Amino acid sequence: MRVITTQVNQTIWDIALQHTGTIDSVFTILEANAFLRPDITLPEGIKILIPDTEINKQIKDYIEKNNIIPASGDMYTQIPLNEEDMIQIKQILNYEFSNGPGPMPAVRLSNLKGDVTIQINYDRVEESNNTIYLEHSIDGLHFVQIPETEIQLQPEENTHIYTLNILTNYLRVMLNNETSQGILKEIIYRV
């Protein structure tokens, strides 16, 4: 997959034509970028994942060779994405700390300019020697810890929120617990 950046007045239809040579790829692009909608002009500068399939190479090459940037959107009816338009994935885990440390299930996210909020809700933590941190991966197989995301779960709290700017495909929460008291209730991802 490639990452491209939208230009002024582009729609998903323009993106498909410019980067794959046909509008037939619109639904493949929508599938890879769940935050997109086919009925709006996209704001300039959004990062979009483009699958590695060129359906009509001749048209794609013509557009590229002639420096054509399809832009059929209406700059006067641009609809900005707001909180309701954002992807929200909720993992309800109810993971008992007595099950031991380890990774929580990873989620696949297609990022909008890399802005991600992760809310972790937990309960009944009695000691502060339990930590969590975030890992990310491009392929969903090889995960790497995101620097400066390790925190201690505090007994007097029940929520921690991360706000990150990262362009990645997969995220997961790692639990390092030294006690068996506590429940990791849910993780909410907002992109």
CA 23, 28, 32, 36 torsion-angle sign: positive
Q: Per-residue b/e over 140-152, b at no fewer than 16 CB within 10 Å?
A: eeebeebeebeee
- What would the pLDDT profile of 17-51 be if each residue is shown by its tens digit? 999 999 999 988 888 877 777 888 888 888 888 88
Phi-psi category of 12—alpha, beta or left, where left has phi over 0 and alpha has psi -120 to 50? alpha
CA angle, residues 38, 40, 41, in degrees to nearest 5:
120
The pLDDT tens digits of the residues spanning 95-148 come to 888 888 888 887 877 654 567 888 899 988 887 678 899 998 877 788 899 999
For 156-180, how does the pLDDT look when each residue is reduced to its tens digit (9 = 90+)?
Answer: 888 999 988 887 778 889 988 877 7
d(CA 2, CA 93): 33
